[in-house]
Each structure stands twice: as C-alpha cells, then as structure tokens.
Amino acid sequence: MKFAVLVFPASNCDIDMFKAVEDTVGEPVEYVWHTATDLTPYDVILVPGGFSYGDYLRCGAIAQFAPVMAELHKAVESGKFVLGVCNGFQILTEAGLLPGALIRNNRLKFRCHPVDLVVENNRTAFTNGYCQGETIRIPIAHGEGNYYCDEQTLERLKTNNQIVFRYQGDNPNGSVENIAGVSNERGNVVGMMPHPERAVSELLGSADGVRMFTSVLNAWREKNGAAIGR
C-alpha cells in the first residue's frame, strides 16, 4: 500500500500528513507536487491543508485547475481512496469531487482549537475503525470552514448517508446542520475541516485521529483481499 500527499504552492500541512502516515500505519508515503500527471502508483491520496495558491479568488478555486487534479479525478473514478483536510476539503468541493462549498466562518474569525465531533457514518474508507455515534476530539484551524449546500443537496447527503462528521456542542463556523465532514456517494472520498493528522498522539492532546489512517489501511486490505491486522 502506498500513500501520496499532494503539495500545492502554500500547502502547509503536508509535513503533518506525511508524518501521520509514518507514525500511524508505517506504510510508504511520498510527497507529490501539484504538477504531477500520474497518480497510478498510489492507493491513497491525501490532500492536506494550507493556503493553496494564497487562497486567491477563494479557497481551492485555483488549485482545482492544477495538472494533478485531472489525475485525482481518474483515481476517484477507479475507486482509490482520497482524504481532503481543511484546504484539501475546500479543493475537493471546488473540483466537484465532493458536494457543497466552504465559505467564511459565520463570525468572520479564524478558529484554531480542539473540537468534539460525532461520527455520523462509520462505513467510509476512512471511518470504519470508529463506532457509529462515537464522539472524538480533533483540532480545527480555519477561517473558511462554514460548510454550505442547498436544501436538495442536504437531503441527498442525508438519504445517501454522506454526512461523515458533525460538530458536537459549539458549532465553530456556522456550517449547515453542524456538518464537519462529508463523503461522496461511493464512500471512497472524504473531506473534513478538522485535522486528524494533528491528533495522532496523546502528547498532541488527542490520538483520536489515528483511526482515520488505520481505517483506510483496513479498507485497502479488504478491497485487495489481504488479511486485516498487522
């Protein structure tokens, strides 16, 4: 199994994501520059946070046109696993790989602190290691994390069980129905505003993000007929 961490100009969470893979599952992982035109060697593609292209126009709006994104669409269609975190989530929505959009936080302030999340869907490639309805603690760091979609899209998300995480208690950004993360219908693409790669050790305040990485390892093993467990 091999992980790719995409890197765009002004990505700033790529190192955190890279180290999280090393520390949680120990599988091969490589940085892949935004100009790459081949993602076939990789089984899991991680789109990290940051300020791709300086967040000009709006978050993720320019990154969606990077050469690597055409390859990412192919990877998703072939069933590979994709996780977008923070700016990565914004990029995936701008590219049409996930429904909805991320807009300015309702109080127009950058929020950076741990939050409690409820696992709404534990059947995706990245959440199969959690219990349905479990509460986990993961940090956020964003100014444009307010998830928005129209009523028709929201009903489809509910019908198809695509709401992956909701904020519990205080909603830090005003997102519709407290949504913190969603998936595509197939469940191989997940986007979320909180940063699981920053919650992989109790020394960091929480290890609740570890199972995002072990979950996708198990999903890959199941898909490829390998035994689960190391």
Catalytic residue ranges: 86, 195, 197
d(CA 21, CA 6): 13
Beta strands per DSSP E along 120-200: 135-142, 146-148, 163-167, 179-183, 189-192
Report yes or no: 198 and 137 within 8 Å, Cβ to Cβ: no
Q: Where does residue 225 fall: left (phi above 0), alpha (psi -120 to 50 degrees), or beta otherwise?
A: left
Residue 75: closest CA among 32, 119, 127, 25: 32
d(CA 183, CA 203): 29
Report yes or no: 68 and 35 within 8 Å, Cβ to Cβ: yes
Tokens found for residue 158: 């509910």
For residue 138, give Cα distances in angstroms to 85, 113, 116, 164. 12, 9, 7, 14
Tokens found for residue 92: 């995936």
